[in-house]
Homo-oligomer: A and B are copies of this chain.
Amino acid sequence: MPAKLNADLLRGGMDLMVLSALAQRPMYGYLLQQSVERTSGGRVTVQAGTLYPLLHRLEDDGLVRSRWDETTGRRRKWYELTADGRKRLVRQARQWTEFADCLRRMLAPVLDVPLESA
């Protein structure tokens, strides 16, 4: 029996995107915004009011670790994945793709509808 996939998976899209971006390399907030915007092909914008609370939450949960960089004029807070964060990312990513496949199967009949209905 597969795992249950409810609200946490339905929402967690933002968390997944941020975690997967940080899995590539450490980043600071503003860079993360750009990264998600770019790698999503301009489809997804992470608002600052979403991003920063999210990062703080991830840090509280021990999934990321942060460090201030004061050497330049602009204060930057770099974030990197912890080992726990990486494990969580992999687990969540697998659950999400499972959910996505599941929903895709449910939508299959709908998506066969001809174009005039769009």
Give A residues with C-beta under 8 Å from B: 1-6, 9-11, 13-14, 16-17, 20-21, 23-24, 39-45, 86-87, 89-91, 93-94, 96-100, 102-107, 109-111, 113, 117-118
Task: Please name all residues of chain B whose beta carbon is closer than 8 Å to the beta carbon of A24 when the two chains form the complex.
Answer: 109
> With contacts A11-B10, A117-B87, A118-B94 known, is A107 near B44, CB below 8 A?
no
Q: B118 and A16: CB pair below 8 A?
A: no
**Bound form: Cα–Cα A14–B44 in Å:** 20
* Sample (24) of A-B pairs whose CB atoms are under 8 Å apart: A1-B42, A2-B42, A4-B43, A5-B43, A5-B44, A9-B13, A10-B10, A10-B11, A10-B14, A11-B11, A13-B99, A17-B103, A39-B105, A39-B106, A43-B99, A43-B102, A87-B118, A90-B110, A90-B111, A90-B113, A90-B118, A91-B118, A97-B111, A100-B104
Task: Please name all residues of chain B whose beta carbon is closer than 8 Å to the beta carbon of A106 when the two chains form the complex.
Answer: 16-17, 20-21, 39-40
Q: A100 and B98: CB pair below 8 A?
A: no
**Bound form: Cα–Cα A38–B4 in Å:** 13
Task: Please name all residues of chain B whose beta carbon is closer than 8 Å to the beta carbon of A40 when the two chains form the complex.
Answer: 5, 102, 106
